[in-house]
Amino acid sequence: MININFRDPRPIYEQVRDSFRQLIISGVLPAGYKMPSVRELAAQLTINPNTIQRAYRELETEGYICSVPGRGSFVSRTDAAVEQRKAELLEKFKALAKELRLMGVTDGELIALLRGGNEQ
C-alpha cells in the first residue's frame, strides 16, 4: 500500500503522508476506513513509529483522517480537505506557471504539458 523510497530527498513522514493523501483522494481508502495502527505500519515499513505518528498527525490536521481514542484513526469525509488541498496546489501551480513564463516558456508549451505532452 505504502512504499518508502530512501533515495527520495523528502523526509519519510512526508512520503507516508503524501501516499495516504493520494489513496484517500482517489477513493482507494474510503471514508470510515480504519487506518493501520502506528506500530503495525512502522513494523511493516521498518521505520520509527514516531515517523508514522507525525504523518498521521499531519493528515489529521489537514482533515484527511480523525483519531478516536482507544479505537484508532479513520479516514474522514474528505470533501473539505480535497478542496483545501486543491486550492493550495492551484496557488503553487500559478506561481510555477508565472516563473516559467518569465523564463520564456510559451502558453502553448504550458498547455501541452497540462495535456500530457512531452514538450519542454
Measured over all CA atoms, what is the biggest interatomic distance in the chain, rounded to whole angstroms?
56
What DSSP letter does each residue of 23-73 carry, written as one string?
A: HHHTTSS-TTPBPPPHHHHHHHHTS-HHHHHHHHHHHHHHTSEEEETTTEE
pLDDT grade for 18, boundaries at 50, 70 and 90: very high
The model's pTM: 0.71
Domain boundaries, the chain: 12-77, 80-114
Cα(11)–Cα(32) distance, integer angstroms? 27
The pLDDT of 101-113, averaged and rounded, is: 90
* pLDDT of res. 103: 92
Q: Is residue 82 scored above 90 in pLDDT?
A: no
- Fold category of 12-77 in CATH: Arc Repressor Mutant, subunit A (1.10.10)
